[in-house]
């Protein structure tokens, strides 16, 4: 039910720079992971498990004036997941319950065996039950303006912050079950396996899709701070 190996790839990019008035930083990354679950190459669709994820974040600070700073931070990620329609934990659970010598994963004539009607074929669970696809994305943003009010009194500052976050996910399930046959104990005169069907499955993939239009989060904050040291001995801090 598994392959001999699986690989993963990670790529990172970082760029930073600026001038006396403008400072910026850009960070991006890509991550790809391939699963170890076996697949049936004869199928017209793939049940291979895998993950692709993109991350991006940008931070910009701009000195609008000598006393005013504008900050802009935005980041997000996009994730695409694919896997078999059967859960990995469930497949391994049934694999531990089914000794490998009971029957092969699949017969040479393409039929899939079961030890009995109430038992499972772990290989078929992993490869023949369809597939699942999901795509999720998240955006996080923050805008802030900081003003030094030293022209009123030294140590006085004001800051306004606004942020907006958004998350969503969509997913598609294409499921089916194959026909299951009893284990074969012999062949007939023409060399065909002698066995009978135990369970009828479905010929075509079903279709189910849904979406989570996620969470929208808005945040607004305004603060006034005062920080001053008097006579090099007494510190005064205030926050409103």
pLDDT in tens, 122-163: 999 999 999 999 999 999 999 999 999 988 888 889 999 999
The model's pTM: 0.81
DSSP character at residue 34: E
The answer to whether 148 touches 157, Cβ cutoff 8 Å, is yes
pLDDT tens per residue across span 158-179: 999 999 999 999 999 999 999 9
The answer to whether 52 touches 79, Cβ cutoff 8 Å, is yes
Q: What is the pLDDT of residue 113?
A: 93
Residue ranges in the chain modelled with pLDDT below 50:
none
DSSP character at residue 160: E
Residue 14: C-alpha distances to residues 11, 26, 93 (Å)? 10, 6, 43
List b or e across 29-42, with b for residues whose CB sees 16 or more CB atoms inside 10 angstroms: eebeebbebbbbee
Looking up tokens 């790809």 gives 32
CA distance 136 to 184: 45
Burial class of residue 81, CB neighbours in 10 A (0-12, 13-18, 19+): middle
Q: What is the pLDDT of residue 50?
A: 94
């Amino acid at each position: 039910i598994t392959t001999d190996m699986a690989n993963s790839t990670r790529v990172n990019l970082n760029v930073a720079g600026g001038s006396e008035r403008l400072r910026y930083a850009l960070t991006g990354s890509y991550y790809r992971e391939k699963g170890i679950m076996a697949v049936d190459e004869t199928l017209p669709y793939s049940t291979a498990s895998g993950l692709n994820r993109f991350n991006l974040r940008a931070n910009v600070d701009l000195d609008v004036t000598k006393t005013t700073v504008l900050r802009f931070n935005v980041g997000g990620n996009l994730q695409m997941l694919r896997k078999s329609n059967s859960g990995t934990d469930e497949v391994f659970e049934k694999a531990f319950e089914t000794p490998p010598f009971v029957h092969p994963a699949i017969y040479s004539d393409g039929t899939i065996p079961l030890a009995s009607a109430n038992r499972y074929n772990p290989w078929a669970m992993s490869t023949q039950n369809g597939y699942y696809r999901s795509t999720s994305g998240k955006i996080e943003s923050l805008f802030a303006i900081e003003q030094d009010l030293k022209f009123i009194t030294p140590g006085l500052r004001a800051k306004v912050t606004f942020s907006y976050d958004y998350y969503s996910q969509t997913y598609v399930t294409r499921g089916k079950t194959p026909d299951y046959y009893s284990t074969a104990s012999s062949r007939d005169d023409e060399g065909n396996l002698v066995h009978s069907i135990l369970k009828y499955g479905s010929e075509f993939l079903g279709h189910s899709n849904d979406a989570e239009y996620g969470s929208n989060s808005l945040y607004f904050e305004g603060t006034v701070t005062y920080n001053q040291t008097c006579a090099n001995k007494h510190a005064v801090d205030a926050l409103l």
